[in-house]
Each structure stands twice: as C-alpha cells, then as structure tokens.
C-alpha cells in the first residue's frame, strides 16, 4: 500500500470517529458503526496481518497525543513515532504475516448465552 493511501485511510477513520463522538450523546449510532469498524479491521488484518492491524488500532485509538513516545523496541528505543514509521513497520510485518482467518460468527444461541452470563455478572 502506498504511504499516501495509508495516511488517507487513517485520516478518514479519525474523521468518522469524530462524527460518531459528536453524535453519540444525542443518538447511539454504535449499532450501525460497529459493523463498519469490524469490516475495516478485518480488511486491515487480511492485508497487513493481525500484528500490524493491532499496531494500527493502538495508534488510532489508544494514543491520544501523537507527540508522546508510545512504542519501544527491545533496546528501549522509541519506535513508530509517526505515521510514516507506522506504515513502514506495517509493510515489514505484511511480508511475514500468516494468512488471516476470521473468527466464526456467533450463533443466536451463543449470543443469548453470553448475554445471560453478562447479566448474571452485572447483577452480582
């Protein structure tokens, strides 16, 4: 993937998240957006591999100030300090990735079971 395309994707994800964050207090749109997010994540995993997709997700969602160090190599040196470095690292990981196999979808019965377990846990 070209660097410019990678940066554009990250920028568009940020813009979409900003819209969702503005709308959320008025309307819960997560039911709609969750499906789109899962598709984007699956595509990133298929293209770059799971490890790279996790790095991208952390960069987008966990890192609040992109001027802070947030990732280090085994020698303690800061890495992935900007989108260019993140892209280069993901491109490296892409070369060594295993084929991504998505998790099977839950059945209605499994979903109901999970909801019951969650309900029990919250009512304790």
pLDDT band at 7 (very low <50, low <70, confident <90, very high): very high
Structure token digits, residue 103: 């998790």
Alpha-carbon span 69 to 24, nearest angstrom: 30
Global pTM value: 0.71
**Residue appearing with tokens 């099977």:** 104
pLDDT recorded at residue 3: 96
Mean pLDDT of 30-36: 81
Residue range 35-65, pLDDT digits in tens = 888 889 899 999 999 999 999 999 988 776 6
Segment among 2-6, 15-19, 39-43, 64-68 with least mean pLDDT = 64-68
Q: How many domains does the chain have?
A: 1
- Which structural domain, as residue segments, surrounds residue 42? 3-122
- Do residues 24 and 30 touch, judged by C-beta distance below 8 A? yes
**Nearest alpha-carbon partner for 47 in 20, 16, 9, 13:** 9
Segment among 2-11, 14-23, 77-86, 95-104 with least mean pLDDT = 95-104
């Amino acid at each position: 993937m070209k660097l410019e395309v990678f940066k554009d994707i990250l920028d568009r994800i940020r813009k979409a998240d900003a819209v969702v964050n503005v709308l959320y207090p008025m309307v819960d749109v997560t039911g709609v957006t969750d499906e789109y997010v899962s598709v984007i994540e699956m595509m990133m995993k298929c293209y770059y591999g799971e490890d790279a997709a996790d790095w991208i997700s952390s960069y987008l969602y966990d890192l609040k100030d992109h001027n802070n160090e947030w990732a280090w190599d085994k020698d303690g040196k800061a890495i992935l300090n900007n989108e260019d470095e993140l892209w280069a690292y993901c491109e490296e990981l892409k070369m060594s990735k295993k084929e991504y196999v998505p998790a099977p979808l839950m059945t209605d019965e499994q979903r109901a079971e999970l909801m019951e377990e969650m309900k029990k846990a919250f009512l304790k």
